[in-house]
Amino acid sequence: MAIVKPFRGLRPPREIAKELSCLPYDVMNSEEAAAMAKGKDHSLLHITRAEIDCKKGVDTHSETVYNKSFDNFCRFREKGWLEKDDTSRFYIYAQTMNGRTQYGIVGAAACSDYFSGVIKKHELTRPDKEEDRMTHIMVNNANLEPVFISYKAVPEIDEIVANIVNEQAPEYDFISEDGFGHQFWVIMDMVTNERIERLFAEKVPCTYVADGHHRTAAAARVGEERKRKNPNHNGTESYNFFMAVHFPDNQLSIIDYNRVVKDLNDLSEGDFIAALGRYFEVSQMGCEIHKPEKLHEFGMYLGGHWYKLTARKGTYNDSDPIGVLDVTILSKYVLDKILGIEDLRTSNRIDFVGGIRGLEELQRRVDAFEMKVAFALYPVSMKQLIDIADTGNIMPPKTTWFEPKLRSGLVIHELE
């Protein structure tokens, strides 16, 4: 069963919470981070992307940047921009997008659950990214940014959250620059905190990493390293846990994660479309954007025209949690067999575009001659994600895109 505990959060005063909070470190480059933090002394980006306060062109993985991150973290605390709660508590974090709100429990997940498989994953991680996050955690002695985790909904937890949200004013309540709403509650009643911890232990057999696989792996590895080096280790130390926001699965939705490709592997447009016909029913849709409406249907933009591609029977396996995925169909029959792109992780001929940017972005990149062809996919479902994680399978790269992204800085977990 899942171990999720309250913790003594390090949080900003209410009046600066909006400015201090920021998007996760991995959804922007250095230039974008600098632009987002411009004129915002309180922005957590000065800690999570500390290269913005270093000499231009500095290696983002250098000791200079890590040290600057630590210096800025200390400065934030000295100035009172981050203050520690008096006791361990759970928190509620709500996000609103397009009129839909999802409510998560912010708590400390156990590193041991990651290694035992109670915390399940659906993506592979890259060692270099893990090392970067490990260094960041160790330098600052803290989980600065939360992991996005899901669990199969528990009515009793839903009821607790609903009661607090309806009866207690949020500690933070603001709309971020992207138009999404963010609300944050501190659960003050200790009996309620104890009940939440008990409900996870009794009602939640496992949890699922939705977004933040590298942060999860890095935090778990730091915990193991601290454990190994501590002769007096007893299992209660803060380094045995990492910060995560736990959302019930029935409140979450995944949006599309699309692909753009630079060339047709020396094929003419006509030959490429003919090759597609072996695996798909191909229908020209004209100039109007075609958004896939169901599983195994794709949109394709090529040569100023949109097409609908419908996968033929035999290209997918409904009984295989990986074989049924549209990303698998596209990768196997189009990217690999026709276009010769075998490794999505290393090829420089392909790029990935989150659905939050809209299908207009796919068309723009092709029209601008940055790319030759674009593919729009129907989004993966939470059920598919859970099925894959439950069977120990791994999704193909760049399959899921969750939105809104968790704001960093509303609460921080220290490894005391």
Measured CA to CA, the distance from residue 158 to residue 53 in angstroms comes to 42
- pLDDT at 12 (0 to 100): 98
- pLDDT at 399 (0 to 100): 87
- pLDDT at 344 (0 to 100): 82
Q: Phi-psi bin for 304: left (phi > 0), alpha (psi -120 to 50), beta? A: left
- pLDDT at 123 (0 to 100): 84
Average pLDDT of span 52-81: 95
List the beta bridge partners of residue 186: 91
Residue 343 reports pLDDT greater than 80: yes
Average pLDDT of span 385-395: 90
- pLDDT at 397 (0 to 100): 78
This prediction has a pTM of 0.89
Residue 401 reports pLDDT greater than 90: no
Measured CA to CA, the distance from residue 114 to residue 120 in angstroms comes to 7
pLDDT band at 127 (very low <50, low <70, confident <90, very high): confident
Look up tokens 């996005």; give the residue: 148
Q: Phi-psi bin for 314: left (phi > 0), alpha (psi -120 to 50), beta? A: left
Average pLDDT of span 310-338: 93
- pLDDT at 3 (0 to 100): 97
- pLDDT at 356 (0 to 100): 83
Residue 157 reports pLDDT greater than 90: yes
pLDDT digits (tens, 9 = 90+) for 112-121: 999 999 999 9
- pLDDT at 187 (0 to 100): 97
- pLDDT at 209 (0 to 100): 94
- pLDDT at 182 (0 to 100): 98
Residue 296 reports pLDDT greater than 80: yes
User: What DSSP character marks residue 333?
Assistant: I
Residue 345 reports pLDDT greater than 80: no
- pLDDT at 357 (0 to 100): 85
pLDDT band at 140 (very low <50, low <70, confident <90, very high): very high
Could you tell me where in the chain the CATH 3.30.1760 domains are found?
257-378
Out of 3.40.50, 1.20.1740, 3.30.1760, 3.30.200, the CATH code matching 257-378 is: 3.30.1760
Decide the pairing of beta strands 207-211 and 147-151. Answer: antiparallel
Q: Give the least confident one: 98-102, 291-295, 340-344.
A: 340-344
pLDDT band at 108 (very low <50, low <70, confident <90, very high): very high
How high is the mean pLDDT of the chain?
94
pLDDT band at 346 (very low <50, low <70, confident <90, very high): confident
Residue 287 reports pLDDT greater than 90: no
Average pLDDT of span 314-330: 91
pLDDT digits (tens, 9 = 90+) for 199-215: 999 999 999 999 889 99
Residues in the chain: 416
Query: What percent of the chain is modeled with pLDDT above 70?
Result: 100
- pLDDT at 19 (0 to 100): 96
SS3 46: helix
Average pLDDT of span 51-80: 95
What distance lies between CA 221 and its chain's CA centroid?
19
Q: What spatial distance separates the first Cα and last Cα of the chain, rounded to whole Å?
A: 25
